[in-house]
Structures are given as structure tokens and as C-alpha cells.
Structure 1
Amino acid sequence: MTTTKNALVVRGGWDGHQPVETTELFIPYLRGNGFDVRVEEGPAVYADADYMAGVDLIIQCNTMTTIEKDEFEGLRAAVENGTGLAGWHGGIADSYRNNSDYLHLIGGQFACHPGKHADERTGGQSDNYVPYTVAMTPEGASHPITEGIGDFDLVTEQYWVLTDDYIDVLATTTQKVREWDPWHREVTSPAIWTRQWGKGRIFVATPGHHVDILEDTNVKTIIERGMLWASR
């Protein structure tokens, strides 16, 4: 007998990250893998303890917004009790800057995405699109999320993230030093990581600025696997 699982999609925040379009890309995949999917346009649902107790997986795509104390506490309690939490790009790694406990839960926070030389900028989002490599770690080579996927290249926002060492890094990206940059040595940041929190699993992928990046075969496969891995 097949048991239906419950997935909660929480989306919103900055429209530049296409929260509706990007989550709609993955909802059919979740349904095809036995999830009943509920969509909410903000984090208020996290405060509903009775509902959250039955959620197996949260997909969060909510950039540069805020979360109330009871909402965050509901989210954290759900993860600690076994609900999986997964997301990509700013939808999970730049969600609730007003809450340091949320940053602690996720294990990595967007700091910046160094862009093009000033002479190449036109004032649009593409000012921050640069070519970079997502490089697999030895752990990533054998992890079920990234197994069989080699290093790959993207042209999009390259996330420089601030992290702690209580994450399991599956892939990294290295920010080069360019003649106009103020830093003086290369900086390597996690690009894909997992985190165990209580009974719950957390999965984060920093690529995913727009639908076109999420449609990249490597990125899409990693996120699909990551969602299933994180689920209760």
C-alpha cells in the first residue's frame, strides 16, 4: 500500500527569484513521488503546530523577508521532530535576515554575489552573472544527492556564503580574485550542503536564481534528489 506524504511549499519574498515559477517547476515532481502538496504564500503556516506535525517535507522559496517568533519556532520544532527542509538559492539561504536562530538552523547565510566589472554593468540582474564551477567534494561524490554528478559550470549568481562547520558539504564554489576585487585571496564557499537538526534533515543548493538555472540538468537532478533525501 502506498502512503501519501505531505509536502508544504512556502514561497514569496523578492519577485526577482521567481518564487512562483521556480516552485511550480518542482511541484509535479513531488506529486509524482507520492506527495500531497500544499502551497502557502508566506511563513504564517509554520505557527500551526497541529498541521506542521504531519508535514514530511518543507520546500522554502522565500527571499529577503521576515518571520515572526511563533512562525520560526514552529518551523524549528517541525524540523527537530523529523520534518525535512529543502530549498535553493536565496529562497532558503537568504530568507529571514531578522532572525539569527533561522540562520543557525540553516547553517549558511548569503553574504554577497560578486558581479562583473563596473564597465560591464548595465543596471540589471545580469550584472551579477559570472561564470563559475560547482566542484564536488569527496563526500559529495558518494552521497545519494550528488553521486554520479561531476563538476559542472554555470553562468549565474555565484553565492559567497557565511557558514559554520556543522554542515556536510557536497559541493563548493571558489570566488576568484579579480583585479577590481577588494579581497586578496580566493574564497571557497559551500554550494550544496546538508545538515542534520534533531530528527530532521536540511538540504540547501545555492544555484537557482531563475528557472533557467533550475532547468540545468545537474542542478535540477540535485534538487530533486535533495528534496527526497530531506523528506521524513
Structure 2
Amino acid sequence: MTLQRQALIVRGGWEGHSPVAATDLFVPHLVASGFVVQVEESTAVYADDGVMASVDLIVQCVTMSTIEADELAGLTSAVRAGTGLAGWHGGIADSFRASSDYLHLVGGQFASHPGKPAEERHGGDADNVVPYTVAMTELGRRHPITEGIADFELETEQYWVLSDNLNDVLATTTQRVRDGDPWHREVMSPAVWTRLWGDGRIFVATPGHSLDVLQNPNVRTIIERGLLWASR
């Protein structure tokens, strides 16, 4: 008899990213792909050695927040032993800002979403919404997560990400220079990347600020494929 794979969804943090509704979008995909899904509303589960030893995939959606030392140790140990870690937007790329060890694990940290030029700002979340292109890299054009997906346009938060070259970057986004910006040339950031850590696989997609972005066919396909790719 084939054992079913185990997926652990860990969600919480800043409510602006709708962690419950966002992760619920992907539960049917995981179930249809043969996973038993466990949902936790706290990172405390990362410190449970028994649970972590049984998990094949962690889907994390926790923006900002904090993580205890034993929780981070449990998460890191699980990934090194082969558990996949996957997520999108601030739920993985802007988690636990105070932890450099977490940043080391995932390989990229949200720095800013510069948003609209000053003269177009009126106050509120819409100031952060801009049109931009998600551009596939040469690796992305042949990687199973992004193969067959052409460059595409989004209008949402554009993440400026600090990262390192251990990441295998599948897609990028370029922040343009506009009058009044303090940077002096275009800045390219990873928009989709994978990372190998010990025996584990990590997948990150930076689009996903809101439910409509997650339901964009290209974004949703990339995330669904990324979850399966990352799993043990």
C-alpha cells in the first residue's frame, strides 16, 4: 500500500495577506495530488519533533511575526532532512524579520515595494499597486515549475528582494527608475526561485499579495507546481 504524503500548512501573521483564505485556495490541489493536509495557525508546530519528522511539505503563509529559537531549529532541521518548504509573497519572503537564520534558510528577504511615484499617491494600499512584468529566466523556461509559461504582466505589489546566488532563479522582475527615485539604475529582483538546503527543497514566489493575484492563472500554476516540486 502506498503511503500518502503529508503536507503541513502553517499560517498566521499579518492579516492583510489573508493567510486563511490564501492557503485554503491550495488545499484542494494538495488533496488531489495525494497529500494528507494538516493546518496549524501557529509556528509552535515547528518545535514538535514528532510532527516534523512525518512531514513531506511545509506550506508557510506567515507574514512578519516572530519565531522562537526552538521553532526555527525544528523548521531548519526538517528542511535539511528532506522536508520541502514552499510559499508565496510575504508569507515566506517577509517572515520573521528579526531572524537572520531564517533569511539564510529561504535565501531572500522582502526589502520594499516602492509603489507609485509620489505625485500619483493618494494614501492607502492602492499606492503600492503598480504594473510590472514577471520575466522568465533561461533556467525558468526549462524548469518543471515554470516550463511553458511565457513572460506575463501583473498589477499588484512589486517586491524588491534582497537575495543571494545560491538561489536558482526561475523568474525576475525589474524595478524601473523614475524621476525622484533615490536609486540610479534599474534593479532586478528574483520573482520566483528555488533553493536546495541539505536534502530539502525550497520554493518561493513573490507574487501573491491578494487573492485575485493568487488566482491569476500563471501565478496559480507556478505555485501549484512549486508545491509539488518542493515536496520530499
TM-score past 0.5 threshold: yes
Q: Using the alignment, how far apart are the partners of 2:220 and 2:51 within structure 1?
A: 29
Q: How does 1:167-186 map onto structure 2 within 5 Å?
A: 167-186=167-186
Who is 2:135 aligned against? 135
- Tell me if the contact between 1:192 and 1:206 (Cα under 8 Å) persists in the aligned partners: yes
Q: How does 1:1-232 map onto structure 2 within 5 Å?
A: 1-232=1-232
Per the TM alignment, residue 117 of structure 1 is displaced from its structure 2 partner at its CA by 2.0
Percent identity of paired positions between Structure 1 and Structure 2: 70
Q: One-letter code of the match for 2:196?
A: Q
Per the TM alignment, residue 54 of structure 1 is displaced from its structure 2 partner at its CA by 0.5
The Cα RMSD (Å) is: 0.8
- Tell me if the contact between 1:193 and 1:204 (Cα under 8 Å) persists in the aligned partners: yes
Per the TM alignment, residue 121 of structure 1 is displaced from its structure 2 partner at its CA by 2.0
Cα deviation per residue 1:144-189 (whole Å; 9 max; x = unaligned)? 0000001000000000000011000000000000112111100000
- Tell me if the contact between 1:168 and 1:195 (Cα under 8 Å) persists in the aligned partners: yes
- Tell me if the contact between 1:86 and 1:202 (Cα under 8 Å) persists in the aligned partners: yes
Per the TM alignment, residue 125 of structure 1 is displaced from its structure 2 partner at its CA by 1.3
Q: One-letter code of the match for 1:212?
A: D
Q: Secondary structure at the match of 1:131?
A: strand
Per the TM alignment, residue 51 of structure 1 is displaced from its structure 2 partner at its CA by 1.0
Q: Using the alignment, how far apart are the partners of 2:10 and 2:127 within structure 1?
A: 28
Gaps in structure 1 of 5+ consecutive residues: none
Per the TM alignment, residue 217 of structure 1 is displaced from its structure 2 partner at its CA by 0.3
TM-score (norm 2): 0.98
Per the TM alignment, residue 29 of structure 1 is displaced from its structure 2 partner at its CA by 0.7
Q: Using the alignment, how far apart are the partners of 1:122 and 1:88 within structure 2?
A: 28
- Tell me if the contact between 1:3 and 1:34 (Cα under 8 Å) persists in the aligned partners: no
Q: One-letter code of the match for 1:200?
A: G
Cα deviation per residue 1:93-139 (whole Å; 9 max; x = unaligned)? 00011110000000000000011122322322111000000000000
Q: How many residues align?
A: 232
Q: Using the alignment, how far apart are the partners of 2:125 and 2:64 within structure 1?
A: 16
Gaps in structure 2 of 5+ consecutive residues: none
TM-score (norm 1): 0.98
Per the TM alignment, residue 62 of structure 1 is displaced from its structure 2 partner at its CA by 0.2
Q: Using the alignment, how far apart are the partners of 2:117 and 2:134 within structure 1?
A: 22
Q: One-letter code of the match for 2:220?
A: K
Moved runs in structure 1, 4+ residues, more than 4 A? none
